[in-house]
């Protein structure tokens, strides 16, 4: 079920690709083109890497229209233990870096879960991700938000002698504002785990998002009603995330108003040696003008514990959010958003981002102690002062 709220909106902001680096790995040296869907220009990787071999994916994928142009070629590194792309940047600026991998059966090798290709992806000297390719048809994306500590950023593929490392595309996007994603610092990078657009129907990125973040639709039509508006949702002048209007224009509410709860969860195998540290950013915007006497107030719970110390009331057509400034360390995350006793309308959510923490220094946070603090920051037009709450939890 979907409810559409139609009003006259305001024009959107101008989009540009200034500072973008968009590399289609494996295309002919010196070749460039403009992507038909995103309007982003892509170039060959000639000027960014010194080694490797160019390939096309298998011709059996020629008719697959879901494969992006930049993923139809790749560069492999059969000879080198460590192969690095060097991307010129502005020191001290914050960037989003995304690497994409599609094997596409380019070498005729049989790949499976019992015989996968394994290699490491590094951001400089830091382990970004251990890449596991177990299906030649699967497109894998790795994304990180980081601060440039020098005039370049190195993205490296490390051979683990378990298959040839390869890469399909590499993209760098300046976030332009130092205040965006405050959890990303000179010593901590944020590795994307999920980025969801609740109520959306298609994947959104540039030009809808000027920073070219990729937003994936997330819906449960058996439990949620989708709502959307055609009106422009404005970002606050001091917005720390600047979620695009196209994402905040959609949301979900409970399909059964008597339950008045939104629930979703994610988890990790509890046999992992290291528990990832998660940062959680929830985004809320009111999409309908409330009549006199109407209210929408809710409280967020994490794993059964009250995550927000007070009710949250989203602002009409204005961005708002709740986020943790210190990461959590558990294997399972169960999020419940419940309306308060005085609320006349059910809870709502527009978007969710989750990130794991990559320590960029030698001294990583010690996760062995049993007590960790989570600061929660609330931002809504209805509150003039940003309030910070401290919650301690025993694992």
The SS3 of residue 217 is strand
Residues 112-136 pLDDT 10s: 888 899 999 999 999 999 999 999 9
CA distances from 134 to 62, 101, 112, 229, 232 (A): 21, 12, 4, 40, 42
Residues 136-167 pLDDT 10s: 999 999 999 999 999 999 999 999 999 999 99
Q: Across all residues in the chain, what is the average pLDDT?
A: 87
Q: Which residues of the chain have pLDDT under 70?
A: 1-14, 269-275, 361-395
Query: How many Å apart are CA 32 and CA 48, to the nearest integer?
Result: 14
Report the CATH fold assignment for 21-174: Jelly Rolls (2.60.120)
Inter-residue contact 331 to 386 (CB < 8 Å):
no
Domain range list for the chain: 21-174, 188-394
Tokens in use for 214? 């990729």
The SS3 of residue 59 is helix
The angle subtended at Cα 19 by Cα 13 and Cα 25, nearest 5°, is 115
> What is the predicted pLDDT for the residue at 372?
31
pTM for this prediction:
0.88
> Which residues does 35 contact at the CB level (< 8 Å), separation at least 6?
22, 41, 42, 68, 69, 70
What's 110's DSSP letter?
-
> What is the predicted pLDDT for the residue at 1?
56
- H helical segments located in the chain: 245-248
Tokens in use for 96? 């989003």
């Amino acid at each position: 079920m979907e409810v559409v709220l139609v009003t006259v909106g305001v024009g959107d902001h101008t989009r540009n690709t200034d500072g973008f680096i968009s590399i289609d790995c494996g295309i002919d040296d010196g070749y460039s083109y403009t992507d038909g869907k995103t309007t982003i220009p892509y170039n060959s990787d000639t000027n960014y890497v010194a080694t490797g071999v160019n390939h096309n994916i298998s011709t059996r994928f020629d008719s697959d229209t879901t494969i992006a142009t930049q993923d139809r070629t790749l560069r492999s590194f059969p000879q080198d233990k460590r192969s690095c792309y060097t991307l010129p940047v502005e020191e001290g600026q914050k960037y989003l870096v995304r690497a994409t991998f599609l094997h596409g059966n380019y070498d005729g090798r049989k790949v499976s879960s019992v015989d996968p290709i394994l290699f490491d992806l590094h951001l400089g000297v830091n382990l970004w991700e251990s890449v596991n390719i177990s299906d030649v048809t699967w497109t894998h994306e790795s994304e990180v938000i980081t601060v440039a500590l020098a005039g370049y950023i190195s993205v490296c593929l490390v051979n683990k002698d378990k298959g040839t490392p390869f890469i399909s595309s590499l993209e760098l996007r300046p976030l332009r504002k130092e205040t965006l994603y405050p959890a990303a610092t000179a010593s901590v990078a944020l590795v994307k785990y999920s980025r969801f657009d609740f109520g959306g129907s298609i994947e959104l990125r540039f030009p809808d998002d000027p920073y070219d973040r990729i937003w994936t639709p997330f819906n449960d039509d058996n439990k949620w009603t989708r709502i959307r508006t055609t009106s422009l949702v404005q970002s606050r002048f001091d917005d720390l995330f600047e979620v695009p209007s196209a994402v905040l224009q959609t949301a979900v509410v409970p399909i059964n108003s008597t339950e008045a709860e939104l629930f979703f969860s994610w988890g990790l195998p509890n046999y992992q040696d290291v528990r990832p540290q998660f940062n959680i950013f929830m985004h809320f915007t009111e999409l309908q003008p409330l009549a006199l006497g109407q209210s929408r107030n809710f409280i967020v719970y994490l794993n059964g514990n009250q995550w927000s110390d007070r009710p949250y009331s989203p602002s009409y057509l204005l961005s708002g959010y709740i986020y943790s400034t210190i990461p959590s360390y558990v294997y399972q995350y169960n999020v419940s958003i419940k309306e308060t006793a005085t609320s006349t309308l059910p809870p709502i959510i527009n978007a969710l981002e989750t990130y794991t923490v990559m320590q960029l220094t030698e001294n990583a946070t010690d996760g062995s102690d049993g007590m960790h603090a989570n600061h929660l920051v609330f931002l809504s037009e209805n509150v003039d002062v940003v309030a910070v709450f401290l919650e301690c939890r025993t694992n």
